[in-house]
Amino acid sequence: MRGFLERISSRKFLTAVAVQAASVAAIFRPEHEQTLHTAAVRIAALATLLLAAMGYGKIESAVDAAMKQDAQ
């Protein structure tokens, strides 16, 4: 298992954080005031938040499994 500081300084984690920050910005700061467009942007941003979190978790679990297998 890798340490906490090593995990949060990885490119995977920083990319996931950047994607989630952009998604949160899209949710709370829509560019257009049309109701349908705003709803679509918010739905896409929420989907992106979920997918980024799930993707990061999947990648980290695969990395941990590979490291555990190499240690044996």
DSSP output for the chain: ---HHHHHTSHHHHHHHHHHHHHHHHHHS-S---HHHHHHHHHHHHHHHHHHHHHHHHHHHHHHHHHHHHH-
The residue that leads in pLDDT, 46 or 32, is 46
- 18-40 pLDDT, tens digit per residue, is 988 888 888 887 666 677 778 88
The pLDDT score that the predictor gives to residue 34 is 74
Average pLDDT over residues 5-11: 82
pTM over cut 0.75: no
The pLDDT score that the predictor gives to residue 42 is 84
